[in-house]
Every structure is written in C-alpha cells, then in structure tokens.
Structure 1
Amino acid sequence: MSDMRLIVAGAGGRMGRTLIRAIAETEGVTLTGALEAPSSELLGEDSGVLAGLPPNGVMLSGDLWSLSKDADGIIDFTVPAATIANIAIAAERGIVHVIGTTGLSASDNAVIKSVTSRAIVVQSGNMSLGVNLLAALVKQVAKSLDDDFDIEILEMHHKAKIDAPSGTAFLLGQAAAEGRAVNLDARSVRSRDGHTGARHSGDIGFATLRGGTVTGDHTVIFAGPYERIELTHKSEDRMIFARGALKAAMWAHGRKPGHYSMADVLALKPS
C-alpha cells in the first residue's frame, strides 16, 4: 500500500514543525503539502529546513485547495478561523481532517460536525495516548464517586498559549461530566475571584496557570472528606501530540465519513 499523503497546516509554527519531523520519522506517511496563512512571511520557504531537517522540496503555501488536490489528509493544529476555513476544503475534497486546534467555540464545532457527512474528521482537545487514557480513567472515577468528591481540573502551559482553559482541560472536564451524567457547560466553574461564596456541590472547577516553556501539565483532583485522589499527566515534548495525530490520520484513512475522536482511534469507547 502506498504512503498516506499528508498536508500539515500551520507548518511554520512550533507544532507544525514538530509534525513535519514526525512525518519524516514515520513509516506509512509522507509529506505532500505545507500550509501557512496567506499573509505569512514564511511562504515559499522549505518546510524541511524550517523543521530542522534537510531540504525536502515541500514549500510553504497559502493555497490549501491546490495542495489538497493530491492529498489523503490534513493535520490541523492552528487557530479556529483557519480550521473552519480548512474543514470546508477537506469536506469538498473528501479527505481526512485531523483537528487538534483548541479554543473552538460551540458554533465552530457545529460547523465542523455539519460537514462530516462528507469529510472524515478526527477531533480531540489532545492527541496524546496518555491524555486520552487519563480521560477514560477520569470518566470511570467520576462515575464511581458521588458528589461528596469535588472535581477540580488544574492545567499549566507555556506563556505563549493564547486560549484558556486548555483544550485538554475541557477534554478531561467533559470526561468527568460524562461520568457524573451532567452537562459540563451547566456545571463548570472557570474562574473565581473575590467573595465567591462556598463551592456548590457537583460543580467541576477549572484553574489555569501560564508561564515559562511548559508543554502541558494537567491534574484532575477528586477532593473528598479527608482524602484526595489526583490523576496527573505531564507532557515533556510536543512530539507526543504529533505521533498521536499521525496515528489518528492513518486510522481514519479509508474510513467512511464521520466525526471521530481519539477514543475511537484508541478503541477506548465501550463496545
């Protein structure tokens, strides 16, 4: 079988460059396109050189329609506006779209789901194996413990991250909400300041830290009477997200159109 031909969106950014290195190291996939914003100063640069590799002849382009002509999929860790523009083309081409973009609004997610009758979408707030296994554990623990155990989610990222709480924090919060059979939007508390009053039983709290070069640390705390359970994941390198995204892309290649998650890719959903 021939290699899966992939486009990296945001190829000039930190995650994009990591994805290009990961593709170069992974059997079964090949880089066929490197996408950047039409206004980027990096257009025309060699994507291999930008990623710290020998020249690969795949130059950064702002034209996804042309790049996708001969592609099997796109991996997209960009920003919401770019992802929404990219999903329209992925759907038109009928190619795999792996979405790791965070900060998407409810309306953005509705747009993504609206095209999955034509596109094969794998979307997750975090593509790492460890985080998705953690989410499965969080769901089980939340289901097993009652409201005597308060749920708090603490996350820390590097100082350049532009959205908060992180997509991973929301992924873990959603897992906790599913375990408790509640609506996350209705029960989440995302900021506390001033005289807030006592904590409401059943709420799911979020706390955000930013600083330094932290790739991503997440802890889910179940705080009960006189005891705490803490489930933690610490990311040490963006390569874990890149490898997870490649696993997702290869898993999705050839599947029927639909909206999938890393739980599908890793067979974490109950049969």
Structure 2
Amino acid sequence: MTKIAIFGANGRMGKVLCEACLISNDSELVAALVRQEHALIGSEVTHLISQGKTALTYTGESDLVNDVDVAIDFTLPLGMKKHLSLAIERKLPIVIGTTGLTAQDMAELKAAAKHIPIVFSRNFSVGINILENLVKVAAQTLNEDVDIEVFEAHHRHKVDAPSGTALMIGEAIAEAKGWEHEQVARYDRTTEEQAKAQNEIGYSVLRAGDIVGEHTAYFATMGERLELTHKATSRLTFATGAVRAAKWLRNKPNGLYDMQDVLGLK
C-alpha cells in the first residue's frame, strides 16, 4: 500500500487526485495539503470528492505527516517550487505535473533530483505517452517535404499556451527529426509574410468552455495527411496516471524520471 500526500488538494486537479487515490486498490490518501492558514484546514475532504471513503481532513503544507511514501503536486510553478523544497527537506519522493515551467524551473528540478526521486511529466495520460512515441515514428518515417503542425484545445481557465503537452509532442517530433526545438517552433505567424518552411513545427491553440484536453499532431504532404489525435474527456485520466506514477516511484533511487519510464516505453 503506497501512502500518498496531495499538495493543492483543494484545487481543480487536486480534488481529482484525491479521488484517484481513493479509488485505487493499492494506494492510500494520507494527507490532503493546502496553503498554511487556509480556511479549509481542519474541514473534511469527503464533501469535495465523490467517493467519500475517508474522513481525512485538510492540513497545512508545513504539517505534512511523516507517514507518507510519495507526494503528488499539480500546483502552479511558484507553489511547486516551495513544495519541492519541502520534499527535499523530508527526503520525500514526489510526482510533479505542474506545467508552464521555465528553463530555470527545470534546472531546479534536475538539481533536486540529485537528492530525491522525482517523476515529472507534462501529461500523465497513458494515451498521450503512447502518442509521444507514435509522433516520433511518423517524424522519422515520412519524407522531408512533410508539413508538421500541432494543435491543442483546453478549457477557458488554462493559463499557459501552448500547453505543456503540446510542447511535449513538438519536442518529441523535433528530437526524432534531429532539430533544435526552439529553432523550429513557430508560435505566431502574424508578423511573417512568407510561406511555411518544412523544417518548422507550428502551434495552434484553442481556449474554450470546459474542454479537458485535445491534442493533434498533423503530418501533411501533397496528396495525404496523417493526423494523430488524443482527446481526454475527464481529468481523472491524468490523476489515475499520476497515482500510477506515485506507486511506481516508491523506493526508486534518486533521479529525474518521466511517464515514459513509468510505463516502460523507453
């Protein structure tokens, strides 16, 4: 039984992570953590999650109990860095699904992984991680005249754009093609008056309503088009993958892992 703590347990994703822990047969939610001095501290978690299998109460982040095997964090970058420091202090393995991280944030993650085991992924869906492998095959196999575009759609509240998952897909394509991603990525064509080049990856973004997450990689040549698409209809998909990663991470040596490691796809 893997004992799990959730940072940001009161957030949109935090609530779903709590639910995923409760419906897993071999994990136990032992800490639902919120910011210090939050009004929810001391109130029961059960009225916020559908399963209602525990009488656990919300606790402050600094009151993290010692009886935890792995923590999970899907909070914003600023909160994540604070939680990462706490995890290092407690020698606690941590699964991180925070998106919108800067190069400096990633450098801090890599440095932290020298002290604790970390699984970091911009998407914990099993299907998306299979898609990551499929786009590599497509990029390596199709002729050099192929046009490559990545489209993504999310709910109106999502802050970062393109999504971390879209970038993950684009970076996988660039790696397969032997390109430097930042040199070939095109986020805005409104200031360019020239035809699209083949050695580039264009990104398109849609923000609307309650779309959980849709991603498509387009590979188009003259006469045919390959579209590789993943659509998520529930956040529980990501939460279930994160709990799977947490169970996998328990007792692993220090290091920075990703969902490809968890699924054995590497």
TM-score (normalised: structure 1): 0.93
- Structure-2 separation of matches of 1:106 and 1:129: 25
Residue identity in the other structure for 2:104: S
The one-letter code matched in structure 1 to 2:151 is L
Post-superposition Cα deviations, 1:110-163, rounded to whole Å, max 9, x if no partner, equal 001101111110011100100000000011111112431111000000111111
Counterpart of 2:226 (choices 229, 232, 235) is 229
Which residue among 188, 191, 195 is the counterpart of 1:191? 188
Distance 1:63 1:246 in 2: 19
Q: Secondary structure at the match of 1:113?
A: helix
Counterpart of 1:100? 97
| In the alignment, structure 1 residue 141 sits paired with structure 2 residue 168 | no
Give the 3-state SS of the residue equivalent to 2:159 in structure 1.
coil
User: Greater shift after overlay, 68-77 or 206-215?
Assistant: 68-77
In structure 2, C-alpha distance between the alignment counterparts of 1:40 and 1:100, rounded to whole Å: 22
Tell whether the 8 Å contact from 1:77 to 1:101 is kept in structure 2 after alignment: yes
1:159-197 superposed Cα distances (whole Å, 9 cap, x missing partner): 111111111101111111111111111211112224442
Taking every aligned residue pair, what percent have the same amino acid on both sides? 39
Please point out which of 153, 158, 182 is paired with 2:155.
158
Q: Which residue identity does 2:203 align to in structure 1?
A: F
Match for residue 210 of structure 2? 213
Q: Residues 30-41 of structure 1 correspond to what in structure 2 (within 5 A)? A: 30-38=28-36, 40-41=38-39
Give the deviation of 1:45 after TM superposition.
2.5
CA deviation map 1:80-122 (0-9, x unaligned): 0111111112122222211111111110010011011111100
**What whole-Å deviation, never above 9, does each CA across 1:186-239 have from its counterpart, x for those lacking one?**
211112224442212211111100001110000000111222110000001011
Please report how far the alpha carbon of residue 70 of structure 1 lies from its aligned counterpart in structure 2 after TM superposition.
Answer: 1.9
Equivalent residue number for residue 255 of structure 1:
252
CA RMSD, aligned part only?
Answer: 1.5
Cα distance, 1:67–1:195 mapped onto 2, change above 3 Å:
same
Q: Does the alignment pair 1:21 with 2:19?
A: yes
Give yes or no for the alignment of 1:180 onto 2:177: yes
Long gaps (5+) in structure 2? none
**Correspondent of 1:75 among 72, 75, 80:** 72
Q: Is the 8 A contact 1:177 1:184 kept in 2?
A: yes
For residue 240 of structure 1, report the CA deviation from its aligned partner.
0.7
Compute the displacement of 1:268 (Å): 0.8
TM-score norm. by structure 2 comes to 0.95
* Residue identity opposite 1:32 in structure 2: V
* Structure 2 CA distance for aligned equivalents of residues 179 and 202 of structure 1: 12
Question: Which residue pairs with 1:243 in the alignment?
Answer: 240
Q: Is the 8 Å Cα contact of residues 70 and 249 (structure 2) preserved in structure 1?
A: no
Q: Are residues 97 and 195 of structure 1, via their aligned partners in 2, closer, same or farther at CA, if it must alter by over 3 Å?
A: same
Give the aligned length: 266
Q: Which runs of 4+ in 1 moved over 4 A?
A: none
Task: Provide the C-alpha distance between the structure 2 equivalents of 1:80 and 1:89, rounded to a whole number of angstroms.
Answer: 14
> Which of structures 1 and 2 has the larger relative contact order (alpha carbons within 8 angstroms, sep 6+)?
2
Offset at 1:68?
4.5
Question: What is the rounded CA distance, in whole Å, between the counterparts of 2:28 and 2:117 in structure 1?
Answer: 19
Q: 1:130 aligns with which of 127, 130, 144?
A: 127
Q: Secondary structure of the equivalent of 1:70?
A: coil
Aligned equivalents of 1:134, 1:41: Cα separation in 2: 41
Indicate if the aligned counterparts of 1:251 and 1:265 stay in contact, CA closer than 8 A: yes
